[in-house]
Amino acid sequence: MNRFSYHRAGDVAEAAQMGAEADTRFLAGGTNLVDLMKANVERPTRLVDISRLPHNKIEELPEGGLRLGALVTNADTAYDARVEQRYPLLSSAILAGASPQLRNAATNGGNLNQRTRCYYFYDTATACNKREPGSGCGAINGVNRIHAILGTSEACIATHPSDMCVALAALEAEVRVEGPGGARVIPFADYHRLPGDEPSKDNTLQPGEIVTAIDLPADSFTENYTYLKLRDRLSYAFALVSVAVGLTMEGGKIAKARIALGGVAHKPWRVPAAEALLEGQAPSPELFGRVADALLQGAVGQGTNDFKIDLARRAIRRALRQAAAGTPQSQTDKHVA
Amino acid sequence: MDHITGSQDLSAGTDLPGIPITLTINGRVRELSVAPWVTLLDLLRERLDLTGTKKGCDHGQCGACTVLVDGKRINSCLKLAVAYDGAEITTIEGLAQGEALHPLQQAFIDRDAFQCGYCTPGQICSGIGLMNEGRASTRDEVRELMSGNICRCGAYTNITDAVMDVLEKESVK
């Protein structure tokens, strides 16, 4: 990797100020950044180590929600008793991703900010508008088995690789950030962005801004939920398609529904109109089929990922059935019920 | 890949921009000066001669470089050594007590849980991390929670046997 200087930040304000300067990157768990530096995709001249900042706790919120410190590891979050009991959808999604070693190092903030695993983004010998704006896209008309079917642009068809973020989208979390311009709160749906004509931007952070926490609302899904992840091997692989579902059931009918898809777009994919189709209705295969169609409206295959449209349609229906029945997908026993 | 250059620089010398850090490695306190781009894996292997920890993929995909940091398993290839200032690190060399092997080391021998042996130090450190986490008791859980360690010889069945042996002995205690 290239040579760089290393600075250990004393507080968020100092880190934000340094982070706003060119060619500077924040280092937390490092599981994605260090890898990208080895591949010469990232070539920072300075790393600002934020791993010792005090955003390393999980705390109760006064309104009944939970605040996940940005520097808490993915493992400590998934195994936290409060998260397991009140946000089992989040716990399940985190445990569906990466490996135990990576989850022990990777942080919550880093999970949000990880880059795509598009092969062309990683391979500096190929064209990639995300890595090198204006160079073109190797994935379009290339090998695109893992690529997006929704929300793509002529510049980029990359996906966001996170599992955790798919659950956070369904839970309607909020992202707390601090930067040179102060602190602000970003609704999860507005945190990541679609590629458009600026695919180099994965999210809506401004220069120097640091994620300090993720807030989970009090309203969660403890009975009727599932995280269904489909991939090329049963563990330790990125999703081809994943589905996070949270339902609130009242007297056999669905009072509230939240659905997010992973592996299909540049951000966790939600369609509020599709969720609205479920509300006030009793679960049925016909209804779930219509919801799947609404979620996948406008889906376009890119060649080697054409199969994803039908895979996603089936996964959505299956996940809705699992959630409505209160039988969430196990992340240990991989048989899909 | 440039990491080979990094290793050469390490052994080369004294005029590098070293950052002072203290690491406790296998119970021994080490005062070190380390360039910021040196991974924990390269530090262990190239400078401290602790070559039991293996470099497989060097991208966090194979688990051969797994070590324990403050009792938790991590991929040492993806960690910059400078970021671990003050940490306690255990590698495969630090598991035996004198001539007495760690129970999981012995179980790997008893169960013939390796062929070429290259992934074994990472498998054993990962297995100990798994036990420290206390989240696995069934074979399915062991298989899922050992999935960060690849064995290209395919000794998975016997690796699971070895981990289960020690887990079951521990649960009897």
Could you tell me the pLDDT band of residue B7, with boundaries at 50, 70 and 90? very low
Mean pLDDT score, B31-45: 97
Where are the extended beta strands (E) located within chain A? 5-8, 24-27, 46-49, 58-60, 66-69, 174-179, 182-187, 210-216, 224-230, 241-250, 253-262
Taking only the tens place, the pLDDT of each residue in A136-169 is 999 999 999 999 999 999 999 999 999 999 999 9
The structure tokens listed for A334 are 């991989």
CATH number at residue A30: 3.30.43
Closest CA to A152 of A320, A308, A315: A308
Interface check for A232 against chain B (CB to CB < 8 A): the answer is no
Percentage of the residues of chain A whose pLDDT score is greater than 90: 98
Min Cα separation A236/chain B (Å): 6
Q: Could A49 and B82 be called an inter-chain contact, meaning their C-beta atoms sit closer than 8 Å?
A: yes
Class of domain B3-94: alpha beta
Which residues, 6+ apart, have CB-to-CB distance to A207 below 8 Å? A19, A20, A179, A180
Could you tell me the pLDDT band of residue A335, with boundaries at 50, 70 and 90? confident
Domain range enclosing A280: 224-324
Interface check for B154 against chain A (CB to CB < 8 A): the answer is no
Flag whether A125 is in a domain: no
The structure tokens listed for A42 are 């990232």
Taking only the tens place, the pLDDT of each residue in A163-175 is 999 999 999 999 9
Q: Which residue on chain A is closest to B9 by alpha carbon?
A: A3
A104 → closest Cβ in B37, B39, B73: B73
B60 → closest Cβ in A31, A51, A332: A31
CB atoms within 10 A of CB B60: 28
Could you tell me the pLDDT band of residue B173, with boundaries at 50, 70 and 90? low
Residue A250: exposed, middle, or buried by beta-carbon count in 10 A (0-12, 13-18, 19+)?
A: exposed
Contact list, A99 vs chain B (CB under 8 Å): 60, 63, 147-149
B147 → closest Cβ in A30, A34, A99: A99
Q: How far apart are CA B170 and CA B164, in angstroms?
A: 10
Interface check for B79 against chain A (CB to CB < 8 A): the answer is yes
CB atoms within 10 A of CB B158: 18
CB distance B83 to A27 below 8 Å: yes
Contact list, A75 vs chain B (CB under 8 Å): 72, 133
Taking only the tens place, the pLDDT of each residue in B98-143 is 999 999 999 999 999 999 999 999 999 999 999 999 999 999 999 9
Q: Which residue on chain A is closest to B76 by alpha carbon?
A: A101
Confidence check: pLDDT of A248 > 90: yes
Closest CA to A128 of A169, A100, A158: A158
Q: How far apart are CA B90 and CA B104, in angstroms?
A: 15
Min Cα separation B79/chain A (Å): 6
B36 → closest Cβ in A4, A38, A40: A4
CATH number at residue A258: 3.30.390.50
Domain residue limits, chain B: 3-94, 103-172
Confidence check: pLDDT of B171 > 90: no
Report ipTM (2 d.p.).
0.96
Domain total in chain A? 2
Architecture of domain B103-172 in this structure? Orthogonal Bundle (1.10)
